[in-house]
Amino acid sequence: MDKVGLKEAVLWEGAEDTKVRCKLCAHGCVIGEGKLGFCRVRQNMGGVLYSLNYDKVISANPDPIEKKPLFHFQPGSRSFSIATMGCNFRCEFCQNWQISQAAIESGGIDGEPITPERIISAAVRSGCKSIAYTYTEPTVFMELCAECGRLAKEEGLSNVFVSNGYETREAIDFASEWLDGINVDLKAFSEDYYKRLCKARLAPVLETVEYIAKHTDIWIEITTLLVPGENDSEEELKKLTEFIVTKAGADVPWHISRFHPQYKYLDSVPTPIENLERAYEIGKGAGLHYVYLGNVPGSKTESTFCYNCGRLVIERIGYEIAANYLRDSKCPDCATEVAGVGI
């Protein structure tokens, strides 16, 4: 492949012979000359690692920040959401498989070349308060994220990731100067689940969650897609929620998302509502202050309640804020502060 127009990758180092070692995610790929990393969008050319998807934007549009989902980060605002093709997971139930897995399955990397300057300009024109790197795994287009992220900060915009949490500590530190918020998919609390259904490992995701929560100023929320019969046992959910409380903190919002059969995982049914409600109670029982159900339109569990007195403080209908009763980020009844950014 011709190197003209390609972007040298960030976070890599030379290895033996002409191989390179990618330091972006926990796969830690050692890539031979002419070969691709596990994500299929980073290639070793002559002993230099290049990004193949740097300026190939496959999606760019304003979204409610609640769609990420981020409920405690600038609620009611819009986030200019961008993505390129590629992923470092192989989730059999992927909800965005048409763009996340295309580079893996066909080798094709489609998208329109859009400069970071144009992206930031479009975000400003559309009245967005942040840029969201989402739809596919932002780690694998970190080069574009970094350039957009720095420009966004200059324009007074925030930056958020929607991520599988497979970043290395080096990648988190690299992004921390411009990254303000992140929603991490904690897909399960089982090594077997990650290995069998995602072709990944659990431990690096847990390390990412704890590291971000304890060692950075990045606001974090967590999402778990509840797949019937796979990650919804009471035992597993208790372990998962106890991990969040003890290693990340009770103020970290937990989003429990309803599964619908997608991609290769079709021999299932959508998550029963009672399973979601049981998970909700487990999360509250573990001591989490903010638990939400996703993909359940009209449920009261879309709204935020004061964990101290139970008062409704932010009412949501879908991705829209119907009412915000907070006063200086505090409950109007008992003055308990509600955790978040710009809340």
44-64: pLDDT as tens digits:
999 999 999 998 999 999 999
Residue spans per domain, the chain: 7-51, 56-324
The residue type of 193 is: Y
Mind giving me the DSSP string for 6-65? -EEPSSEEE-STT-EEE-SBTT--EE-TT-B-TTSSEEEETTEEEESSTTEEEEEEEEEG
- 106 in helix, strand or coil? coil
CATH of domain 56-324: 3.20.20.70
Q: What is the mean pLDDT of the chain?
A: 96
pLDDT at res. 238: 98
Asked if the model's pLDDT at residue 328 lies above 80, the reply is yes
pLDDT in tens, 83-128: 999 999 999 999 899 999 988 888 789 999 999 999 999 999 999 9
Asked if the model's pLDDT at residue 305 lies above 90, the reply is yes
pLDDT in tens, 152-188: 999 999 999 999 999 999 999 999 999 999 999 999 9
pLDDT at res. 105: 83
pLDDT at res. 297: 86
Q: Taking the CB of residue 199, how many other CB atoms lie within 10 A of it? A: 14
Asked if the model's pLDDT at residue 4 lies above 90, the reply is no
Token code pair at residue 221:
């929320």
pTM of the model: 0.96
Residue 66: pLDDT band (50, 70, 90) is very high
Token code pair at residue 320:
């829209």
